[in-house]
Structures are given as C-alpha cells and as structure tokens.
Structure 1
C-alpha cells in the first residue's frame, strides 16, 4: 500500500476518533524497530516522537496533501466494519457522518453513501416522533436503517484486510 494513502488513512481515522495517537506511535515504533535505518523515512521518527494528537494530525495532513481520499475513506469504513462491536449504532452513525463530512468531494461514492444513510436515519428518528406511536414500528424502522449501515460498512471489509497487512510500502 502506498505510504501516502496510509498517512491519509491515519489522518481520517484520528479525526473521527477511530485511531488514537498511541496506536499510531506503537505501529511506527514497531516499523522502525524491524526496518533497516536507511529504509525508514525521516518523518516516521518525527511522528513517533509527536507529543499530542493535534501535532500528529497536522503532520499527517501535510504529508497526505494531494492524496485521493476515496481509498483511505474506504479503508476507514472497512475498519469501522471490523471494529463495529466496539461502538454503539449511534457512534457508528456519528463516525460515518463525520467521515463523509471530512472528504473534499461530497459527491464521491463513500461520502454520498454515508451521508445518505445518516440522513435516512435522522428522518426515521424524526418520523417516529411525529407519526409512529407504536414501539414495534419504531424498532422495525430503526433496525432496517441499522442493517443498511452495517451492510454498507461490510462492503469495505476487503480494504481493512489490506490495511491490516501493515505494509508501509513505497
């Protein structure tokens, strides 16, 4: 996987609070430990020694300038699918909504899909309050939306598998 794609993936993941700075530092330290010195990009040392989240995000933003966000967004969606048990459905909606809002192209496939799913969920929540009085009706409607979100995330599972290879590449 291209290194700049990984930078953008980590940037997006940190911005939606899926990755913690400590996790990135641990991965970088592992890479530094297992790689000959001449093959380690200087910026990895800077990132590894970064003291806070803001500094890391700024460095990752600078490094990933000009990278197409579609693949990193797909990776993040795949990672959210893989780690969905860590989050409530509300948190998944929040993270996917934030991911969609962070992408420069609002009409891109990932941004459009998650924005649409989040809008459908919001509409369902409003509709329940206005029209549906029965609990079963509400539960069915929300379960349908939840399934749609989980199915959408599942489509990106293969991207998470590629990311998990930890191939810091070119």
Structure 2
C-alpha cells in the first residue's frame, strides 16, 4: 500500500496529513507489540516531501500495476471533486509516474490524455459553437468515466480490507 499512497500523494489526490492521521489513530488503538515500527517513522513525517521519500523507499521494487489501479479506482470514486480537465491531468500524471511505460494502465491513461489534449487543440481551431464544445466535453467525460469505472472495484476492495494496514 506504500506505493498506492505514494502515487496518490504525488498526483495530489491523497494528502500526507490524512495518512499521518490514519496511522496515528491506528497507533492509539493498537497494542504496542502489534504496531509495525515503520508506522512510527511515517507518523513522524513532518511534511509531504519527507512522506514521499519514506514511501518511495518502502515501495522500492513493488509492481506498480495494482497500486496504480487502486489510485485510478479512488479517482473514480472521488471524481465529483474535479473537473474533467483536472481528472485528465491526474491520469496523465499517474501514467507519467509509472516506470513501465508499456504497462496496460500507463499506456491506457497516456492514450486517453493525448486524445483529450488533441480534442482540446482541435476545438480551438474548428468548432466555434458552444454546443459543439459541450458535446465534445460530454463525450470526453463519458470516456474518462467509463475507463476509471473499470478500476472502481480496486478502491472498494481497499476500503473493505483496509490494506494500508497490511
């Protein structure tokens, strides 16, 4: 889960402060002998940069596909917080953060972002009517929502099992 939180924080969807709060709550509610030592270290992270450094060290060598899928599912679940443009920006950042550019999720998100950027570019030159722009944005939003919805079950599973504690 360290990689999930690292990616979520890097795309500015998850907050380091929220992770620290969750870890602090866990520490308060759990017997001392059952608390992983690293939780104390993460709890003491004083800012976003230090948290990202710690999570990067902890996640070194982890396959990024599952964590990226979970983050995509979380973005789907929280999609109302963002405009379509902001969501495309976040999936573009997520794709760029993945080390394997040929990975299915990275390629899919990169392709979506490029397609969206091309639509935005074409809109400025070809479509002058507001109605045409609204149709284009609605189609683009539907494609993005459908793609992210494919990952929703990963976020639901994370919520059910509280994987961040494992």
Judging by fraction of residues, say which structure has more helix. Answer: 2
Task: State TM-score, norm by structure 1.
Answer: 0.92
Aligned residue in 2 for 1:71: 66
The 4+ residue runs of structure 1 with deviation greater than 3 A are: 167-170
Task: State TM-score, norm by structure 2.
Answer: 0.94
RMSD: 1.2
Contact 1:121 1:142 (C-alpha < 8 Å) held by counterparts? no
Shift in Å at residue 148 of structure 1? 0.4
Shift in Å at residue 169 of structure 1? 5.2
Unaligned segments of structure 1, at least 5 residues: 1-5
Aligned residue in 2 for 1:26: 21
Residue 163 of structure 2 corresponds to residue 167 of structure 1: yes
CA distance in 2, matches of 1:72, 1:130: 38
CA distance in 1, matches of 2:85, 2:132: 19
CA distance in 1, matches of 2:66, 2:91: 15
Correspondences of 1:18-167 after superposition (within 5 Å): 18-165=13-160, 166-167=162-163
Q: For this pair of structures, how many residues does the alignment match? A: 165
Contact 2:73 2:153 (C-alpha < 8 Å) held by counterparts? yes
SS for the counterpart of 2:46 is coil
